[in-house]
Homo-oligomer: A and B are copies of this chain.
């Protein structure tokens, strides 16, 4: 992509209501734009990151052993579905509206009320179980107040997976597989793994409702998080605030320590054993091998994509801007020329073409009315992993200057070795 053609504009000013670093950086760098409080557009740079996160999630959720089948359920649903579970009244943040046909609709904040009656049409026998369905789709919460950019919004993209089982044991096994898949997602997005000594994203014990003792959240440590978690200093397990107030000692069975460290965090996922909570009101039953009708056992598993994107920025940035992990960066290479000669343009164009032919995504800063300083500052703000600079000086050595956004130090690479070098360092 030529930067001169890219639909974006960086801002010098910090948005006036921005508290979270991710909010400030994503708006200043032109990744997202606020339409109104809690409602954002994703501009081309932000959309590219969102799409990469979406594809990582899709890959992990469709792969064995998760084997999710993708569907797409509606944004609108009828009041009746929500009355059946009592959530028409009890779900506080429900956006409600009335159509011209005088019918009441909900803007779905989650889809148990839609997927349960849908599954009832198809699941009849134990032979139809287990089955795993997911979607990646826009959801809504009528929050009275919103803040922190993409960390808490009224409209948001979510991946929601629902699993349907014949037995609790089968749900328990699947649940643990989803935990692993979630950590794969967080690792690939750059908020879990060796860099962070298995932080800064924790699987956190949370309240489980009536069916199971615990549910779990995935919480990423950041000082702008709205949640408080407690990390056990002995075993590294984490629990949320609600659990902290209920239990005595670390819930990780062999540990039981009572020495916790308090941290601010943002929830980047949650998984829940629903049991028969939704299958009972919708009469979602199956005929078991013994010929008896039994309620289907359900689990649900959510990840918010925009919030995940913001959390990545919370964890991966410095005072100059964003530092995108390679797998979700909008481009892998930022190619910059800093003087305007014919020869330089020709060299840059060749490198640009060569990289693209190899399938490497490049943003080429071809603008001739910007100074080197302006280009570098913007490059740091945008946070593309590899920066390649071509100048009169490097041209004389048939070389380019290569800098990794995440590391200090610059190295010179021969122009004709660049593609090879980059592929080796991906």
Contact = CB atoms under 8 A, between A and B. Distances in A.
Interface of A: 4-9, 30, 33, 35-37, 39-44, 47, 50-51, 67, 69-78, 93, 95-97, 99-101, 103, 107, 114, 118, 121-122, 127, 131, 133, 138, 140, 142-144, 154-155
A70 B6 CA distance: 11
A8 B155 CA distance: 30
A76 B7 contact: no
B114 A35 contact: yes
Contacts of A74: 35, 39-41, 155
Identical subunits present: 2
Interface class of chain A by DSSP: mixed
A30 B121 CA distance: 11
A76 B155 contact: yes
A93 to B, nearest CB: 8
Contacts of A78: 35-36
Contact of A50 (B7, B72, B76, B138): B72
Given A36-B78, A72-B41, A96 B97 contact: yes
A71 B95 contact: no
Contacts of A121: 9, 33
A155 B122 contact: no
Given A7-B133, A77-B39, A114-B41, A97 B100 contact: no
B7 A131 contact: yes
Given A43-B71, A71-B44, A95-B99, A140 B35 contact: no
A76 B42 contact: no
A51 B107 CA distance: 23
A347 to B, nearest CB: 23
A93 B51 CA distance: 31
A29 to B, nearest CB: 13
* Smallest CB-CB A-B distances: 9 pairs: A97-B97, A42-B72, A44-B69, A41-B73, A36-B78, A9-B122, A39-B74, A100-B144, A100-B142
Nearest to A43: B71
Contacts of A77: 35-36, 39
B7 A69 contact: yes
A40 B72 CA distance: 9
Residue of A7, A143, A155 most packed against chain B (CB within 10 A): A7
B131 A39 contact: no
Contacts of A75: 75, 107, 138, 140, 155
B71 A122 contact: no
A349 to B, nearest CB: 16
Contacts of A73: 35, 41
B44 A70 contact: yes
A366 to B, nearest CB: 12
A7 B99 CA distance: 31
A375 to B, nearest CB: 16
Contacts of A50: 72
9 contacts: A30-B122, A35-B74, A41-B72, A41-B73, A50-B72, A74-B155, A75-B75, A76-B154, A99-B154
Given A7-B71, A93-B100, A100-B144, 7 more contacts: A4-B127, A7-B131, A37-B101, A43-B71, A47-B70, A47-B71, A101-B144
A354 B375 CA distance: 50
Contacts of A7: 69, 71, 122, 131, 133
A293 B121 CA distance: 60
Residue of A39, A67, A155 most packed against chain B (CB within 10 A): A39
A219 B91 CA distance: 43
A97 to B, nearest CB: 4
A319 to B, nearest CB: 25
Contacts of A96: 97
Nearest to A93: B100
Contacts of A51: 70
Contacts of A107: 75, 97, 107
